[in-house]
Amino acid sequence: MNLNDKYDSVVLTLDETAALLRISRPTLFELIQRKLIPCRRVGRQWRFCKVDVIAWLAGNDLVSRTRGRK
């Protein structure tokens, strides 16, 4: 198994996350700007941990727990 294969379903792009949540890209950008959804900027692109996004959707407040950590 290739390392990329292992993480393809774990790390999502902006488009994949919008599709998972069934929302538009602008709506997802708004959530990012308001720091309401767990994500990380990698260079000029956004990446999302699928497990964290699903937990966030279920109402678990991961964003506030991780805010301020380095």
Structural domain spans, the chain: 3-66
> Which two three-digit tokens encode residue 64?
């506030």
Structure pTM? 0.75
Q: Which long-range contacts (CB under 8 A, 24 or more apart) does 35-38 make?
A: 35/63, 35/67, 36/63, 37/63, 38/62, 38/63, 38/66
**66: pLDDT strictly greater than 90:** no
Sign of CA dihedral 31, 62, 49, 67: positive
Q: Tens of pLDDT along 4-58?
A: 555 557 999 999 999 999 999 999 999 999 999 999 999 999 999 999 999 999 9
User: Which residues are CB-neighbours of 56 under 8 A, at least 6 positions away?
Assistant: 37, 38, 62, 63
Predicted pLDDT of residue 9: 76
CATH number for the domain whose boundaries are 3-66: 1.10.1660
Q: Chain-centre distance of CA 35, in angstroms?
A: 11
